[in-house]
Amino acid sequence: MVKFSKKEAIKFGYKKVKKHFWLVVLITLIVVGINTLQPFLQELPFLQNNSFSAGLAKLAISLLFTIIGIIVQIGLIKVSIKFAKGEMPAVVDLFYDKPFIRYLLTVILSGIIIVFGFILFIIPGIILALRLQFAPYLVIDKKTRVMESIKKSWNMTSGQAWNLFLFGLLLAVLNILGALLLGVGLLITIPIAAIAVAFVYLKLLE
């Protein structure tokens, strides 16, 4: 069974962010900008009436940004994995060459399994969430199919649930500290956490 060091993962993420600081900040700001653009557009004056056209426009904006959001989620995982592999990502990696449908189906199916675990009892749901978290990574990194990704994530995290849980808590504390710095610290702590998770993914994949 492959083990990973929580300290080593976070330290690795910090070093990568420090080394590629401006690229990391640029990518993070692009993501933040995309996430803040939707509510801004939804508040445009001509969309504030109750007309059919305004409702249709709001629906189109929501659908568009949902699709863009998924694409960016895939891109962030791809960028994080590249950093973890010692490769140099680019801003275009946020938007280009995305296994959109396969990623979406993997996330949905994993989500259904996890929700079923929570319905049974909270602890099984947490364990399922921890064990299946790398299924989307496998889709993006190894181009595996949906069920194969879920099964492989389950297998590669065997015996790691407790360690992954503690690791998740550490990353949560890290981001809380970043948020306390007037939110600006999140520009640093979120990328550190993302790269640290990708580092753990690669470790468990060995």
**CA dist., res. 74 & res. 68, Å (int):** 10
Residue 75, C-beta contacts closer than 8 angstroms, at least 6 positions apart: 93, 94, 95, 96, 98
Contact between residue 196 and residue 171 where contact means Cβ atoms under 8 Å apart? yes
pLDDT 10s digits, 102-127: 999 999 999 999 999 998 888 889 99
- Phi–psi pair at 145, nearest 5 degrees: -80, 170
Is residue 132 over pLDDT 80? yes
Tokens of 123: 């602890």
pLDDT 10s digits, 148-176: 999 999 999 999 999 999 999 999 999 99
Each domain of the chain, given as residue ranges in start order, spans 6-205
Contact between residue 169 and residue 7 where contact means Cβ atoms under 8 Å apart? no
**Which of the four pLDDT bands, split at 50, 70 and 90, describes residue 11?**
very high
Angle between helices 146-156 and 135-142 (to 10 degrees): 120
The mean pLDDT value for 65-85 works out to 94
**CA dist., res. 176 & res. 158, Å (int):** 29
Cα Rg, the chain, nearest whole Å: 18
Contact between residue 128 and residue 165 where contact means Cβ atoms under 8 Å apart? no
Identify the CA nearest to 143 among candidates 84, 102, 199, 111: 102
**Which of the four pLDDT bands, split at 50, 70 and 90, describes residue 20?**
very high
Secondary structure of 65-127 in the HEC alphabet? HHHHHHHHHHHHHHHHHHHHCCCCCCHHHHCCCCCHHHHHHHHHHHHHHHHHHHHHCHHHHHH
In the prediction, which pLDDT does 40 show?
A: 81
**Which of the four pLDDT bands, split at 50, 70 and 90, describes residue 1?**
low
